[in-house]
Structure 1
Amino acid sequence: MGFIIIYMVIVFAVVEIAAVLMRATGLNKDISRFQVVSLLTSTGFTTMESELISDHPIRRRIGMFLILFGLFSFAVIVSAIANILAPGFQSSYLAAAAGALIAILVLVRTPMATAFLSSKFNRSLERKFEVHELPIKDVLLLEESDYFVELPVGPDCSYIGQRMRDILPSDADLNLLFIKRGTINVRKKKYETALEAGDVLYLYGDKKEFDAFFAEEMEDQAPAIMTRGGGRT
């Protein structure tokens, strides 16, 4: 029983340390803990939020460790049960490992350590990774007002049959990246293409511009819209 308690402490410490590291990369607190547990147990990692892990180079590395640790943990538990049944089993080394992890957890939770990790991870992204390797948030969403939206064109949308060049003024701080139409991504003539029901518009720009030109559409299609804003993940 003592072994089980000690090992649970180790698992708890690993989860909390990994969650702190995830948060240091800019990930939301609740999302980070859920994804850490998902990775560790190899369950529930098919959520839309998993893209926040797989699209980020540093989070991917943390995720790889958690997956491997989860597999190792299963093997250790099976082996430990066998050892517990054997005479002379000692858990002193395991208790020492648990104590070390708790000490690390206390350390990384301090404000100074959190600030250091955030700064370190940001510098790592700036120095070691190409733009195409970084997630949308770190490439496009640099200001609080920056916004990225996947906007479906509903059957009752007032813009059906219109072209984006007629919808958006040339001086609008809003950019159409491409139009997804079924399995086709319209890029070359994206501003000249008449919109159809079922299209999905991939837009990037200022939050106020979205509210000015697409407020009604965003309200009508709210459940189907994916948005990412600067300063939030």
Structure 2
Amino acid sequence: MRFIILYIVIILAVIEINVVLFTLTGLDHRISRFQVISMLTGTGFTTGESELIIQHPIRRKLGAFLILFGAFSLAVIISSISNMLSKNLFTKEIASIAGILIVLMLILKLPSLQKKLASRFEGEIKKAYDLKDLPIRDVFLNEEEDCFAEISIHPSSFLIGKTLSDLFEGEMDLNILFIKHGDIQIRQKRQSTELQAGDLLIVYGNKPLIHKKFKAELQAAKEKEAEAAVLNPL
């Protein structure tokens, strides 16, 4: 029984250590904990959050370790239960491993070390991987107010008939990546294309500025969603 308890302590320590490491790569703490437990137990939750793991080079390596460790742990626990009465269980050695992992977990929680590791992870990513290998979140959403938005041009919008060069000339922190007109994506001539009702603008930039510039369009979209919710209640 002591062996089982010690091994559970090791598993909990491994979870905490990996939660810290995932957090240092920029992942939210709550998401980190859920995904670490999911990978360790092999439950395989296929949520949108899992894409944050798969698309990140360092997180993928940590995830591979957790999956293998989880499979090994299951085998060890089953084996130990079947040999519960055996005197050959290396309780002292396992206790030492548990103690080392707990110390490592406490060290990793030191703010100074976390800062150094976060900087190191960022440097390794920039050195070893191209931008195309990284998820959008890590490339573009570095600041708290960085934002992507889809702006729909409603039938009564004042933007209809105008071009992007007329509307947003000189805006340094607002970028229209492309205009989606039906199934067509307009990028090369987006600055000179007259906007039409039903067009969709893919915008990247400062969130408060986007909300200011497209206040009417965002409000119209919100009202449309509210109306649809009333007409089609769950």
What is residue 230 of structure 2 aligned with on the other side?
A: none
RMSD, aligned α-carbons: 3.1
Q: 1:116-136 CA deviation, whole Å, 9 max, x = no partner? A: 211211211222111112232
Q: 1:18-67 CA deviation, whole Å, 9 max, x = no partner? A: 01111111222222212211222233632222222222211221112112
State the distance in 2 between where 1:35 and 1:167 align. Answer: 46
1:170 equivalent to 2:169? Answer yes
Contact 1:40/1:67 (CA < 8 Å) preserved in 2?
yes
Residue type of the alignment partner of 2:157 = S
What is residue 25 of structure 1 aligned with on the other side?
A: 25
State the distance in 2 between where 1:220 and 1:41 align. Answer: 45
What is residue 140 of structure 1 aligned with on the other side?
A: 140
Number of positions where the alignment pairs a residue of Structure 1 with one of Structure 2: 221
State the distance in 2 between where 1:79 and 1:193 align. Answer: 70
State the distance in 1 between where 2:183 and 2:86 align. Answer: 60
Residue type of the alignment partner of 2:93 = Y
SS at structure 2 position matched to 1:84: coil
State the distance in 2 between where 1:216 and 1:174 align. Answer: 17
State the distance in 1 between where 2:183 and 2:92 align. Answer: 59
**Which of the pair has more CA radius of gyration?**
2
Gap change, CA 1:108 and 1:158, over 3 Å in 2: same
State the distance in 1 between where 2:2 and 2:156 align. Answer: 63
Identity %: 43
Please report how far the alpha carbon of residue 5 of structure 1 lies from its aligned counterpart in structure 2 after TM superposition: 1.1
Contact 1:159/1:195 (CA < 8 Å) preserved in 2?
no
What is residue 203 of structure 1 aligned with on the other side?
A: 203
Gap change, CA 1:70 and 1:209, over 3 Å in 2: same
Q: 1:175-227 CA deviation, whole Å, 9 max, x = no partner? A: 22235678765544555375564x654321122320222234445556x9xxx
State the distance in 1 between where 2:77 and 2:207 align. Answer: 50
What is residue 51 of structure 2 aligned with on the other side?
A: 51
Contact 1:153/1:160 (CA < 8 Å) preserved in 2?
no
What is residue 122 of structure 2 aligned with on the other side?
A: 122
What is residue 76 of structure 2 aligned with on the other side?
A: 76
Gap change, CA 1:3 and 1:203, over 3 Å in 2: same
Give 5+ residue unaligned stretches, structure 2.
Answer: 226-234
Contact 2:39/2:66 (CA < 8 Å) preserved in 1?
yes
SS at structure 2 position matched to 1:170: coil
Q: 1:137-188 CA deviation, whole Å, 9 max, x = no partner? A: 3322344443223x26387783796566278422233222235678765544
